[in-house]
Amino acid sequence: MEWHAIMASLVMPPLAPLLGLLLALVLWFFPATSPFAKLSLPLAILSFTAMWICATPAFSAWLGERLGRMPAAPDAVPQTVVVLGGGRYRDENSGNERLSATSLERVAWAAQRAPVQMPLLVSGGRVYEQERAPEAELMAGLLQDLFQRPVTWRENCSRTTAENAVNTAAILHDSGVESVVLVTHWWHMPRAAEVFARAGLQVQPEPVGSPAELLPRAQSGLLRWLPSAAALLRTQVYWREMLARRWYHWMPLPPVRNC
């Protein structure tokens, strides 16, 4: 799993522009007569410009719009609600774990919007060995204890969106479920809906948020073109989704994972 993250980081901001700046610094020390030395300044300017643009709200918003449209809802009536995990926080000293802000948003969205009569499935396992409880257990506990929403199924073994899909499909097909309401963030929905459809489930999207979201201070004027950490984070998330969606398009579905 780690090599996937490393490879993705190499072509995403901030690492890719930073590597460009580092290479420009190395080329600067080449002999002045070397053709490589002449590349130093252009490469530095290009890398700095790329970093600046990637960290602007205007660019992150534009990139988010490129992720793709939401898939059309199927004609079939959904039979259950599927909530996908979005990560956790873990205290390295105590080992205590809690849901990340992304996971909390998905759980709260499902609790507020999902019809009460529809059963719930939560999906997410342990991505790293040092993690304790499967993410689905953390989500189920919050849904039941805080929102008083019973959870019918826990898919505890998946580590990726593709494994979310095939493991969830296996559980639901055994129960006669063919159509689901899928809850995940809007930027994750195009990739997630596609892979769930490939796994044999009809998907009605229930995205958390929308591409029109921007921080209030960055919605107009010059602020849209000033770099910020929040905009850079969004650019990284959106860029990763675009890469992952292309990767999923070419890769076969994984087998059902047991844990």
- Does residue 252 fall inside a structural domain? no
- Asked whether residue 126 falls in the same domain as residue 237, the answer is no
With tokens 């969205």, the residue in question is 109
- Does residue 75 fall inside a structural domain? no
Query: What mean pLDDT do residues 15-36 have?
Result: 91
Question: Does 187 score more than 60 pLDDT?
Answer: yes
**pLDDT tens for residues 94-146?**
889 999 999 999 999 999 998 888 999 999 999 988 899 999 999 999 999 99
Q: What are phi and psi of 20, to 5 degrees?
A: -65, -40
Question: What is the predicted pLDDT for the residue at 25?
Answer: 93
Model confidence at 219, pLDDT cuts 50, 70, 90, reads low
- Does residue 251 fall inside a structural domain? no
- Asked whether residue 230 falls in the same domain as residue 138, the answer is no
Question: What is the predicted pLDDT for the residue at 116?
Answer: 86
Question: What is the predicted pLDDT for the residue at 255?
Answer: 95
Helices (H) and strands (E) in the chain, counts: 9, 7
- Asked whether residue 206 falls in the same domain as residue 84, the answer is yes
Q: Within the chain, where are the H helices?
A: 2-10, 15-28, 40-54, 57-65, 101-113, 135-145, 161-174, 189-198, 229-250
- Asked whether residue 150 falls in the same domain as residue 200, the answer is yes
Q: What percent of the chain clears pLDDT 90, i.e. is strictly above it?
A: 71
- Asked whether residue 146 falls in the same domain as residue 26, the answer is no
- Does residue 72 fall inside a structural domain? no
- Asked whether residue 86 falls in the same domain as residue 189, the answer is yes
Is 0.95 topped by the overall pTM?
A: no
Number of domains in the chain: 2
**pLDDT tens for residues 222-247?**
888 999 998 999 999 999 999 999 99
For 102, residues 6+ apart whose C-beta sits below 8 A from its C-beta are: 86, 87, 185
Model confidence at 67, pLDDT cuts 50, 70, 90, reads confident
Diameter of the chain measured on Cα atoms: 75
The boundaries of the domain holding residue 125 are 80-210
- Asked whether residue 89 falls in the same domain as residue 180, the answer is yes
Question: Does 54 score more than 90 pLDDT?
Answer: yes
Question: What is the predicted pLDDT for the residue at 124?
Answer: 97
- Asked whether residue 232 falls in the same domain as residue 112, the answer is no
